[in-house]
Amino acid sequence: AHLVLEQDFRYDEADVIMRQHTVIEESGRISIYRIWDHYYSRESIVKLLQEKGYNVQDIFSDLTGKPFEEKTKSMGIAAKRAY
């Protein structure tokens, strides 16, 4: 058996959220897992990909190819290496 404690930390100035999971095992062992997610706007991800040598072919609202909408919470990006 074990206990899991979860916390979310938002760092809006860096467009980042960190999800921390603390697992306390029956033996008393404690493990901490931190998952960092960086949020991108359409413009910021295109700029980053271009800086890294990619050309963005298309942007979708999800990974199934749904047309992009500004209010979407996720993005699927088709990009090709420029060189």
DSSP string covering 26-73:
TTS-EEEEEEEEE---HHHHHHHHHHTTEEEEEEESSTT-PBP-TT-S
- CA-based nearest residue to 78, from 38, 36, 64, 39: 64
> Contact 31/23 with Cβ under 8 angstroms?
yes
* Amino acid 31: pLDDT: 99
- pLDDT tens digits for 10-52? 999 999 999 999 999 999 999 999 999 999 999 999 999 999 9
Decide if pLDDT at 57 tops 90. yes
> Contact 39/15 with Cβ under 8 angstroms?
yes
Residues of the chain with CATH 2.20.25.570: 1-39
For domain 1-39, the CATH architecture is: Single Sheet (2.20)
Mean pLDDT over 49-62 rounds to 97
